[in-house]
Amino acid sequence: MHRHFAYFRALVLLVALLASGLANAQGVPSPDPPPPPEQEPADADAATAAYERHMANGIKLFNEEDFNGAIVEFQAAYDAQPKASPLINIALAYKKLREPAKAIAALEQALEKHEDTTPDDQKQAAAREIKELRALIAYVAIDISPKGAQVFIDERPVAPADLSDGMLELSPGVRSLRIIANGYEPKERMITVRSGANNEKVVVALEPTKGQLDVTALVDADWIEVDGKKVAQGHFAGALLPGLHIVRIIDDDGEAQRIDVVVTAGGRAEVIQKESGELFSTAEAPEGASDGNDQRFGPPAVLKPLRGIYFQGSGALLTAVPLEGTDRNFTADSGPGRFGGSGGFNAGYRVTNWAGFELFGQVSDIRMNGSIVITDQQILDDSRVERSVDRVQMKLLSFRFGGMMRVMLPTEGLIRFVGNVGGGAAYEELRFREGFNVDGKNIVLPPPYNATKAQGVGFIAQVDLGLELEVENILIDLVMMNVFQSSKHFDAENEFNGQIRVFNAFNTAPILVAGPALRVGYALW
């Protein structure tokens, strides 16, 4: 047999070399074929060039014992120009890979589809090889459960079609068998197979590690939540670890129906919502199981801890309060015209179901109209006269950054209470713009009030309280933002009559910057 195969291999490779017309001095074809004759059609030229290139590459890979690569190249040559030679070379490569059934299939395809163009000596060699290969095949009956499990032989996947009749065709020897399936413990074993059909049947039953949960809501748009995680709308089917699980169905109004079910390994638990909205399941946990009194089902049912990164962009409408009072150099007008805008970004990590930690950055621009108290000093008699100047605009530009702790208090439904507590620092600029008096003339502020701006860095504390809506990991927060900050850094110095005067619009008293904020972001928990 080996003598016939050697002759057969030499014959086939020689045919391939002659077909390509590219044999070099060492008998290896050049990967770059010569240009075809000019009189041939352009599409035929391209097909011939592709055929010769892939055949040359396939023979090179075959000689280098890269049989899988050779098969790919021979198949590409056959796709370019269907001939018997690439199929015969594919059979040779499959034989090297110890896959006689595939080698036989390639040879039979060559004889069936290209019989008229195949020389008699090649047909005779192919027929002899098919006979010898059939004698080498080991037929092994195999019974695998569950159905649909993936089978690997020597780490190569077995196509489902090759297992359709429960029989594998292998080369004789000791072979590695591995079987995997979702929700089951994988198994590996070595099997010894002999040529022919007299082989022991292989029976492998995988042990289940998970069970199936099937949940059907009454309304297709209602959310299904399993162990605190929204998993689907209307219907859910998936594999879960054995034990107690919390199932909730949440309607558009945020009302939730809950049931605790027991999932067993290899079993199936079904939850159905009745017309009344109540949840029903034949696998419902018995009374006392969810609080740990029934130890048959392991630990009590609890919401699955949620952990992960989240981020939000924010916008706010803010004002600085309180600014009224006799102890302040600047008094804001009541009514409109005392608000400003703010934008920011929050990014953090949720460590438990109810808490997380985040970093934030914010910028705000608050402009307020009001009156400023100034002191006129006469140069000759050094007398001092205080007077109030109206229609002055103050601009407060702030850049805040720091860290906060995020607290989330879950409620039934999609909405929960949310709060942030923390602090940091702020770089700020405080500017005044002169207004107009009742006669429409410019008001000129005397020193030191005519300083164009005061700036500096101060410390802040921040507390935000509000509600959060979470839909498919999209976070929408509506909170009341409260920033407490110092004002010492707003001191403005100016020289007048040889003296340094210091002016602070807030008399160094703390400031509260507050207003409603909307935050929108995404969670990866």
Secondary structure of the chain: what % helix, strand, coil (to 5)? Answer: 20, 45, 35
According to the model, what pLDDT value does residue 446 have?
54
What are the phi and psi torsion angles at 246 (to 5°)?
Answer: -95, 125
What are the structural domain ranges in the chain? Answer: 2-136, 138-208, 211-297, 308-523
CA distance 110 to 122: 10
Quickly tell me which residue has 């109004």 as its tokens: 253
According to the model, what pLDDT value does residue 520 have?
95
What are the phi and psi torsion angles at 290 (to 5°)?
Answer: -70, -20
According to the model, what pLDDT value does residue 441 have?
52
> Which amino acid is residue 270, in one-letter code?
E
According to the model, what pLDDT value does residue 495 have?
59
What are the phi and psi torsion angles at 197 (to 5°)?
Answer: -100, 0
Length of the chain: 525
> Which amino acid is residue 455, in one-letter code?
Q
Name the CATH code of domain 2-136 (choices 1.10.10.60, 1.25.40.10, 1.10.600.10, 3.40.50.720): 1.25.40.10
Name the CATH code of domain 308-523 (choices 3.60.150.10, 2.40.160.20, 1.10.10.10, 3.40.710.10): 2.40.160.20
According to the model, what pLDDT value does residue 10 have?
42
Residue 413 φ/ψ region, left for φ over 0, alpha for ψ in the -120 to 50 degree band, beta for the rest: left
According to the model, what pLDDT value does residue 32 have?
37
Beta-strand pair 211-216/156-157: unpaired
Return the closest-CA partner of residue 181 out of 144, 217, 213.
Answer: 144
According to the model, what pLDDT value does residue 346 have?
94
- Give the tokens for residue 436: 């107009």
Topology given in CATH for the domain delimited by 138-208: Immunoglobulin-like (2.60.40)
According to the model, what pLDDT value does residue 9 have?
46
Residue 478 φ/ψ region, left for φ over 0, alpha for ψ in the -120 to 50 degree band, beta for the rest: beta
According to the model, what pLDDT value does residue 294 have?
57
pTM of the model: 0.44
Neighbours of 235 (CB within 10 A): 11
Name the CATH code of domain 211-297 (choices 3.30.70, 1.10.1060, 2.60.40, 2.40.10): 2.60.40
Helix (H, G, I), strand (E, B) or coil at 24: coil
Q: Assess whether the region 138-208 and the region 211-297 belong to the same CATH fold.
A: yes
According to the model, what pLDDT value does residue 73 have?
92
CA distance 488 to 506: 9
CA distance 120 to 118: 6
- Give the tokens for residue 48: 């011939």
Return the closest-CA partner of residue 181 out of 139, 222, 156, 152.
Answer: 152
According to the model, what pLDDT value does residue 480 have?
94
According to the model, what pLDDT value does residue 287 have?
74
What are the phi and psi torsion angles at 490 (to 5°)?
Answer: -90, 5
According to the model, what pLDDT value does residue 290 have?
64
According to the model, what pLDDT value does residue 345 have?
94
CA distance 517 to 522: 17
- Residue pLDDT tens, the chain, 525 long: 433 443 344 444 444 433 333 333 233 333 334 344 444 455 678 888 889 999 999 999 999 989 989 999 999 999 998 988 888 889 888 888 878 878 888 888 888 888 777 777 777 878 888 887 877 788 888 888 888 888 998 888 888 777 767 788 887 888 889 999 887 889 998 988 888 888 888 898 888 888 899 999 999 989 999 888 888 999 999 888 888 888 999 888 778 899 999 898 888 999 999 998 899 998 888 876 666 565 555 555 555 567 889 999 999 998 877 544 455 667 766 655 567 889 999 999 999 888 999 999 999 998 877 776 665 544 334 445 555 666 677 788 899 999 999 998 876 567 889 999 999 999 988 877 665 555 555 555 555 455 556 788 989 999 999 999 988 789 999 999 999 988 888 777 655 556 666 667 777 778 888 899 999 999 987
What are the phi and psi torsion angles at 390 (to 5°)?
Answer: -90, 175
